[in-house]
Amino acid sequence: MSESKTEIKIGDVETFSIVDFPSHIAVVAFLQGCPWRCPFCYNASLQPLKNTDESIWTADKFFKFIEKRKGMLDAVVFSGGEPLVQEGLYNAVQKAKDMGYMVGLHTGGYRPEHLRKVLPLLDWVGLDIKGPKAKYKALTGGFDAFDAMGKSLDLLLQSGIHFECRTTCDPRELTVDDLFELGAFLKNKGVKEYYLQKYRPIESDKSTTDTVCESLISDEKLISFLSGAFEKFEVRR
């Protein structure tokens, strides 16, 4: 089957979600492709861009599905992988908007120039912040990605769009001091919503225990600082 250059490649779909777009019932399309290699990645199978014929979710099938679900779902979220990798994202977002859906994006801020193009169509963004600048390279598997994330964050702040920042707290990579530093950075930037996400050890990680994961996100001074720094702050477990 021939493939359009602007057709999105979908790895998987969550057909009903109440946690991926605040206050909305969403369908989530997990797009293929991510250049980064975060050590805590839950979706490593989505990192390579594969042939769409290998996926049970073609773009055509996805849009037919959401057409039928109008009235039962009110939002479409493009997640990944890293959705900004795919050139077809803009057209896909536009198509979902044309169907009457609210549209959200989960991203690490890769390719801010692509985010700039898509941003006017979006209703909400979840921006993953991997950690403080000095650790970004390790946290993305060897990429100097902090500046790209920073530019994307600035675009979101300037846009006035509703967005949140969130950090997966992998104790193999991050310390309480790192989370203090990151929180101060985001507060100074003017971020209003920030969430710490508990790391649940991936299959290949045999060294981390739940107790260690829990202790990183339970430091009382850290939680007190972050609670005061943002209009909305929570620990997601």
CA 184/CA 198 separation, integer angstroms: 20
CA 149/CA 131 separation, integer angstroms: 11
CB 120 within 8 A of CB 114: no
Shortest Å, Cβ 62 to ligand SF4: 19
Q: Nearer to ligand SF4 by C-beta: 170 or 193?
A: 170
Q: Nearer to ligand SF4 by C-beta: 145 or 222?
A: 145
Shortest Å, Cβ 227 to ligand SF4: 26
Residues in contact with ligand SF4 by CB under 6 A are 34, 36-38, 41, 43, 46-47, 80-82, 108
Q: Nearer to ligand SF4 by C-beta: 54 or 98?
A: 54
Task: Please return the burial class of 58, using the count of CB atoms within 10 Å of its CB with bins 0-12, 13-18 and 19+.
Answer: middle
Shortest Å, Cβ 3 to ligand SF4: 22
CA 151/CA 107 separation, integer angstroms: 13
Shortest Å, Cβ 36 to ligand SF4: 4
Exposure string for 119-157, b = 16+ CB within 10 A, e = fewer: beebbbbbbbbbbbeebbebbbeebebbebbbbbbebbe
Q: Nearer to ligand SF4 by C-beta: 80 or 132?
A: 80
Shortest Å, Cβ 12 to ligand SF4: 12
CB 66 within 8 A of CB 59: no
**The residue to which tokens 């920073």 are assigned:** 150
Shortest Å, Cβ 148 to ligand SF4: 11
Q: Nearer to ligand SF4 by C-beta: 83 or 88?
A: 83
Q: Nearer to ligand SF4 by C-beta: 81 or 112?
A: 81
